[in-house]
Structure 1
Amino acid sequence: MKISPVEKLFTTFNETAIILQEELSCTYLEALAETGENIFEGNVLQEGLSELSIKRLEKKYDELKLEDFSNEEIRKAYQLVILKGMKESAQPNHQMTPDSVGILIGYLVYKFNKNESIHILDPAVGTGNLLTAVLNNQMNKQSSAIGVDVDDLLIKLAYVNANLQQHPVQFYNQDSLEPLLVDPVDVVISDLPVGYYPDDLRAQDYKLKANEGHSYAHHLLMEQSVNHVKPGGYLFFVVPNGLFESKEASKLGEYLKENVIIQGFLQLPLNMFNNKSSAKSILILQKKGENVQPPKEALLVELPSLSSIKAMEKILSQIGQWIADNK
């Protein structure tokens, strides 16, 4: 039976990660970052490995030619091995944006941004799966990006992910709500981590800080994102459906009204989530600026099952028509 390119890549990533995991006495995800770096550099970089393991790794690396695979094949295979590792480590903050959502956001970014070149920021980049899915969908555009994450293992996986797909991405391993020393970007994308931000002192720098107690991290990240996008630039956030129903919602609403135009709210299918309370949507914003006009009416869509090709084609065609009518 012929194996697919994604399966072939998965097998190499997985088998070489297991060898390194045993040799280095580290977690599977740490070993995965190490093997990804080896594949990118074309060399076994770790010291102190047994001769047998080095030979086994070299044999598997030699059999793999990255140029034989598309970026999407590399991204999907790498995503699958990361998911395997996450199941083993079961860390609650290690969650990945579903594939279909990443590809949909990539389509939206491509359609909304008319420039020939595009510079993207993801302030909660995680393993880089959403960011690289979006970059892979910017056909014929010169694209570059910035990824920020406080988790040093996730950022290393993201760095390897971008390298294997040859995307020009700068990574910053820091708290995204600390000052970001980056130039304003054309587009911000983020699957916003939802919850409370523990640093009340840092939160004081933000208009969206809570009047009492901890502030919402996802609100502060939205404000940080608006601060770092150019006037007229777009922001695509994966947000909880109840974003505008929380106790801080009125303050968020006022802030958004003052600084951005709400272009759209796309509700993801409920069958993607374990329960209704964890359901999410894609919020599309545009930063106010010269000649930035609000749409005749915002794009409000309840998306069908993302696995239904016919229904998705129909809705994407409607979204394309809405963008053409409103731009």
Structure 2
Amino acid sequence: MNVEPVTKVEKLFEWIDEMALAIQKHKDITYLEALAETGENLLDLEIKQSLPFEEKKKLEQQLKEEIPKEVQKEDVRKSFQLAVIKGMKEAVQPHHAMTPDAVALFIGYLAQKLTAQKDTLTVLDPAVGSANLLSAVLNQLSQTVVGYGVEVDETLLHIAYVLSELQEHHVDLFHQDSIEELAVPPVDVVVSDLPIGYYPKDDVAESFQLKAETNRSYVHYLMIEKTLQHVKDGGFLLLLIPNTMFEMDGNDRLQKYIKEHAFTLGLLQLPASMFTSEQFGKSIWMLQKKGEGVKQPNQALLAELPSFSRYEALLDMTKQIDKWLKDQGFAK
């Protein structure tokens, strides 16, 4: 028995998915490429592709009559997140992955708390992907915000564009390798689910302090160095890192580099239940770039987060984090 979608997110996803599948079939492109075109259709409220008459007529009627008129930004983001996850299952590129929704929202909560005393903000994701993490963060910030996203994959960048436009975020997107070139102004906050692995361009890595002494350099080390250069003095970095990062080759040089340029505010280990095995576990690394008036916290915030499904335990943890932020002078 078929169950009709009941929420705005489900209803919007159903149309997005049906539209993307139709475009994928008739244009012989990937689901993710079709999803980007679907976003353009939703943005302009018209179907631009050449589809069979009856199919196009049905989708146009749904677009005009069935898509909820008042869709919140988070509903749009979550609908597209579901579609992007579906598309990534067919994608073969190893970098096609998405930050879990609860984690993206938690990083947004941290960004909001750390920057509560600012009226305007600039936020950068140097590996923006489909902009799910960046969008989740921007949706939680109450200030006037300009976002920047950098992505080497053209299809994901196209999705990031339509997703940002649909949510009415002011986001400037760049089709670049953010390690080789990062054409953005200094920003207040960097958020990123760091890509993990080796960086293929040895000639580019050569100019970095955190390049490997032998063999290939780690892309995540280089991205940390690059983004630290693009954060304003006193600015913040909220990075999703593997728990094994501090055991990797060159960790001693990474730690030395961080001590020279930033303070570690905290390290929040994500629940083990989120990952298929312990070796894939991740943490949120909170950094603040050194600058005038910036002090090392009395005590770094080190914690293992409870399961995001355990509401009471998570509420208790956020209260502890709120108190720590107030004690350090971040939150109002």
In which range does the TM-score fall when normalised by the shorter chain?
over 0.9
Paired position in structure 1 for 2:172? 170
Q: 1:262 aligns with which of 261, 264, 276?
A: 264
Structure 1 residue 3 and structure 2 residue 33: aligned? no
**Among candidates 65, 81, 84, match of residue 83 of structure 2:** 81
1:41 aligns with 2:44: yes
Rounded to whole Å, the distance in 1 between the matches of 2:5 and 2:239 is 39
Which of 305, 313, 316 pairs up with 1:314? Answer: 316
Residues 14-56 of structure 1, C-alpha deviations (whole Å, 9 max, x = no match): 111111112211111111110111110122233x444334323
1:186 to 2:197 alignment = no
Name 2:102's counterpart in structure 1: 100
TM-score normalised according to structure 2 size: 0.95
Q: Which residue of 1 aligns with 2:245?
A: 243
Q: Aligned to 1:221, which of 202, 219, 223? A: 223
Q: Residue 273 of structure 1 corresponds to which residue in structure 2?
A: 275
Which letter maps to 1:23?
H
Rounded Cα–Cα distance in structure 1 between residues aligned with 2:82 and 2:67: 19
Q: Give, in whole Å, the separation in 1 of the partners of 2:69 and 2:201.
A: 45
| Structure 2 stretches lacking a partner, 5+ long | none
What RMSD, in angstroms, separates the aligned Cα atoms of the two structures? 1.3
Shift of 1:66: 5.8
Match of 1:198 in 2: 200
Partner of 1:154: 156
Q: What one-letter code is carried by the residue in structure 1 that aligns with 2:161?
A: Y
Instruction: State the 1:64 CA deviation.
Output: 4.6
Deviation string 1:256-297 (CA, Å, 9 cap, x unpaired) is 000001100001111111111110000000000000011101
- Which 5+ residue runs of structure 1 have no aligned equivalent? none
Aligned residue for 2:286, secondary structure, equals strand
| Separation in 2, partners of 1:61, 1:20 | 15
Q: State the alpha-carbon separation in 1 of the partners of residues 33 and 58 from structure 2.
A: 19
- Note if 1:231 corresponds to 2:233: yes
Pairing partner for 2:21 from 18, 22, 31: 18
1:126 is aligned to 129
Equivalent position amino acid for 2:221 in 1: H
Q: How far apart, in 2, do the equivalents of 1:189 and 1:285 lie?
A: 11
Does the aligned pair in 1 maintain the 2:8–2:68 contact within 8 Å?
no
Match of 1:23, SS state, is helix
Equivalent residue, structure 2, for 1:142: 144
Aligned residue for 1:31?
34
Q: 2:304: which partner in 1?
A: 302
The answer to whether the 8 A contact 2:123-2:191 is kept is yes
For 2:205 and 2:32, locate their aligned partners in 1 and report how far apart those are by CA, in whole Å: 32
Return the offset for 1:190: 0.3
Deviations 1:98-146 (A, max 9, x none): 00100000000000012011110000001111110111111x3111200
Q: CA deviation at 1:57?
A: 2.8
